[in-house]
Amino acid sequence: MMTPDNDKKQQDLQLAEKRLQAGFDAFNDGKLDKASEAFEDAEVRFRVAGDFKKAGDSRVMIAEISEQNGSPEQAIAGYQRAIRHFETAERLLQVAATKLSLGHVQRQLAQLDKAQDAYQEAEQIYRKEQNSRGVGNVELALGHIELQRANIAYAAEHYEEAIRRFKEVGERTNEADASRSLADIHAMERKFGEAETAYKHALEIYRETRDNFGVVDAQVGLGRIYIEQEHLDEASAVLADATNLAQQIEYNLGQADANLGLAEIYLLQGQIDQALIGAQGSLQIYTDERSALGTARAGRILAEINLRRGQLGYANSIVERALRTYQAVAYRLGQAETTVIQGLIQSKRGFISRARQTLESGRQQAHTLGQVLTEQKALIGLGEVERQMGELGRAKGLYAEVDTLGEHLDERTAASNRTQAEIGLARLEILLGDMKEAERHLLRAEETVSKNSLAAQLTPFVTIMHGQLRLAEGDFNEAERLFTIAQEQAKTHQDPALKADLTLGLAQTALSQGNFDAALELYLDAGRQYQLNESTDGDGLAVLGNAQVNVAQERWEEAMDNCDAAMIRFKQADDQPSEADAQLIHGLINRAQDEQEVALSDFEQALKLYHQQRRPLGVADTRFARGSVFLLRGDYVRARDDQSKAIVQVERVMNSISKPERWGMFLRQYAQQYAETALADLQQQHYEEARALLQDFIRVAGSKEIIKQLRSYETDIPVSGDDLTPEELSRNRELVRHLTELRKGL
């Protein structure tokens, strides 16, 4: 017989069931506010009626709605309340399942210790209840935590245990999830064969169980390992399939993942516009779906794309946001590569000291995580930073480490980073005056490029450095030919910085050939390009080039203005080698304007920098310039001392040129300086020393340039007029006579 109280309780339970069902109906229709209201009403009614199990079920649904609404703290509170209901109802398996859900939310909030506690509490219950499926779910979740912490080995152990548990109970879909997670670990460890096997195993299960969402995820994983191995055709095909399927089943995150993979392929292939479109589309989806890791990954790739496009300020803001996101969710694996990209952007923007710290941090993180390619990228960036700071020896060591790390990679994978390191080493050797070593590094770069179609994109950079080498060796026509070839090679490249460097190389060549109008136009063009790329250092090089043209045209005021402007830019960018060059040119301008003391001070500062940087040709140019000031002052001993030391440096560099037939072109660049040195000898009546010096020069470089210089002295030295005393005129006539004898005797 039903009592009134029992009758009311039954009515309350029936009404609670109706409200619960109404909640499910609204939830399935996407009406989350209405669903939440129904579940809250159901929870209250079940709790009053004493059905704490159903009250817990209602509160779990409220927590899930909070998750979907982007309110994780409310979700946590909801799951904790549900756990209390289930504990009151003594429903241990529901307690464990809810603790698992609680841990998932805490993990997303980077509360990893709390999440681990929740998972382990759930695991204790599952083990006590001998529930292998539950234990497998916990092991999978614990694996995700260890992966987030970058504890790769521990993560793999958990995933392997999860696979074993799921196999025991025939949970095929869950087994596939764990297999895919283990494949991610193998890919990080560069065990691509094992990774591919695990992804394909997961893919097979997903297809058997008709889990299309899983199929998309497995295809994306396969695409990523193909990208890592630079098998881009295979990667493109599998990611295209994933994109199509994701669209069909309206799986937005899967579509974003696949499109981001395709964007990365476009970036590797140098198709920057396509990469930009794909990455921006993925970022929008991740943002709409509130996927923190997705937005961070898309942000990292977008930062790299905009770095290539020369949009450095925008790239920097994106990469900072991506890095903050990785740090917020405590995902260490993504932080290393993102930190390195941030350092590269800072370096390009001229923030060298900050870039050094950032790149060193990224390098250490990558080393700890075993991310070899990222560590190499950091070393290349650090090498460029140290070069700019004038630490050329340290830069060489960093580039050499790239090659050492590459020994653990196959030749194809190592090719791009190794080529960049060889180009960097060649540039350093040119500065250090070892042309044979520079040639060797460029030949190695060419050999490495041939082993990889992606590394072949670096061909224009190799050609440019060949042009810079020939320019330093004095073969200006060959340098011009190489820069022109590089222009053709770069036509398909969407790389504004590359094109600016090419324009600068052509401007330097035109200046060396004496084509001053063409050089000025090219330097101005290069400056505009560098400004668009936000390159303070590059703009400084272009402005300094303008100053050099002004010097050649004897437009001293403009030369000084441009030189001062360049110096400011080099100081901003902390570019020590270029600052040394600007200091030398500053001295040359002051010398021409008869500001000899100021010029000597400039030369002293330049010489100090060149010595610190161990740049023999910079030392030689500065000593020749300072020697000419002493020569004008009649201090022939000091002049000859500087000139002798300069000649030692010049001839040491000449002897480092790989082909002796190029020695003459190199030495002819110094015809005026050798002639001035002979003049210092004649002033001291060291006639045989002057003759021997010039005969040595002629044996290598021919007589044409030296004869021209000597004739110029014979013409320019005054032998008559009222401006000089009779004694001075007499000395000049004697000097001219010896110059004539010297010239005719050569």
Cα–Cα nearest to 161, from 183, 200, 132, 184: 132
Backbone angles phi, psi at 515, to 5 degrees: -90, 80
Q: Residue 411: what pLDDT?
A: 83
Transcribe 523-583 into DSSP letters: HHHHHHHHHHTT-HHHHHHHHHHHHHHHHHTT-HHHHHHHHHHHHHHHHHTT-HHHHHHHH
Residue 6: the pLDDT is 64
pLDDT along the chain (746 residues), means of 10: 60 83 88 90 88 92 91 93 93 94 91 93 93 94 92 92 93 93 91 93 94 95 93 95 96 96 94 95 94 94 94 95 91 92 95 96 94 96 97 96 89 90 98 97 93 87 97 96 95 90 96 96 97 94 98 96 97 95 98 96 97 97 97 95 98 95 95 96 95 96 94 91 86 92 89
Q: Which of 1, 89, 84, 94 is nearest to 49 (CA)?
A: 89
Give the model's pLDDT for residue 7. 65
The CATH class of the 494-614 domain is mainly alpha
- For the residues of 121-155, what is the DSSP string, one character each? HHHHHHHHTT-HHHHHHHHHHHHHHHHHTT-HHHH
Q: What angle do CA 291, 294, 300 make, to 5 degrees?
A: 140
Chosen CATH of 414-488 out of 2.30.30, 1.10.3470, 1.25.40, 3.40.1350: 1.25.40
Token pair 């140098």 in the structure block, residue: 270
- What pLDDT, on the 0 to 100 scale, is given for residue 541? 97
- Which residue is listed with tokens 């010049």? 650
Q: What are phi and psi of 633, to 5 degrees?
A: -80, -5
Per-residue confidence (pLDDT) for residue 422, from 0 to 100: 97
What pLDDT is recorded for position 513? 95
What pLDDT, on the 0 to 100 scale, is given for residue 1? 44
End-to-end CA distance of the chain, in Å? Answer: 136
Q: Which helix (H) or strand (E) holds 116?
A: helix 112-128
> From residue 739, how far is each of 517, 525, 635, 707 by CA, in Å?
34, 44, 19, 10
Tell me how far apart the alpha carbons of residues 526 and 541 are, in angstroms, rounded to a whole number. Answer: 9
Q: How far is CA 211 from the centre of its chain?
A: 39
Residue 23 gets the label, from left (phi > 0), alpha (psi -120 to 50) or beta, of alpha
Q: Residue 263 in contact with residue 282, Cβ under 8 Å?
A: yes
Query: What is the reported pLDDT for 627?
Result: 97
Is 494-614 the same fold as 414-488?
yes
Region class of 151: left (phi > 0), else alpha (psi between -120 and 50), else beta: beta
Q: What is the residue whose two structure tokens read 């869950």?
A: 174
Residue burial 180-211, b: 16+ Cβ < 10 Å; e: rest: bbbbbbbbbebebeebbebbebbbebbeeeeb
How open is the CA angle 347-352-356, to the nearest 5 degrees?
90
Q: Where are the domains of the chain?
A: 414-488, 494-614, 615-745
pTM check: above 0.85: yes
User: In CATH, what class is 615-745?
Assistant: mainly alpha
SS3 499: helix
